[in-house]
Amino acid sequence: MTLYFKAGVAIPEEIREEPEDTLDRQGDGALVLLVEDDPSVRKITARQIQSLGYRVIQADTAQSALNLLEDHSDISLVLSDVVMPGEMQGTDLVQHARRMRPGLNCVLMSGYHQIPAADDRAPPPSVARLTKPISRADLGASLSAALDA
């Protein structure tokens, strides 16, 4: 698909993509569980994850993500939105997921500039955080760092 913009029009981050060759395909086929309730954000993020050399499975709620964790023992990392529909938020998902699989690598993403840290749902300090919109370079660096930790 080709999009044309008038000269001087800023291209929104959500549709701007870096060329494939600017980042190594670093994922080595590791399986990432992407948890995002917004279908368009989930689709774009899944494409970015795949372009970085990772495999990806997707969930739209925290509960469906926990079900996938039970079914797929080869999940290496959970990348989850913080604000999710239903009672279980992304921070809750991380806590449940790590009870199921201690030491599981997790990264939280949010459209808010600061993920709450002073309530019961605060993520552990070991969980990486990303602010949306997320560039492919930032996503790649965060996934790689989380898997190396």
What are the sequence ranges of the domains in the chain? Answer: 26-148
Confidence of residue 112 (pLDDT cuts 50, 70, 90): confident
Residue type, 14: E
- Tell me which of 71 and 126 has the higher pLDDT: 71
Rounded CA-CA distance 16/91 in Å is 28
Q: Which CATH number fits domain 26-148: 1.10.600.10, 3.40.50.2300, 3.40.190.10, 1.10.580.10?
A: 3.40.50.2300
Q: What are φ and ψ of residue 134, in 5° steps?
A: -110, 125
Rounded CA-CA distance 96/68 in Å is 13
Residues 6+ apart with CB under 8 A from 88: 61, 62, 63, 96
Cβ–Cβ under 8 Å, residues 65 and 129:
no
What pLDDT digit, counting tens, does each position of 13-32 carry? 555 554 554 456 688 899 99
What pLDDT digit, counting tens, does each position of 94-110 carry? 999 999 999 999 999 99
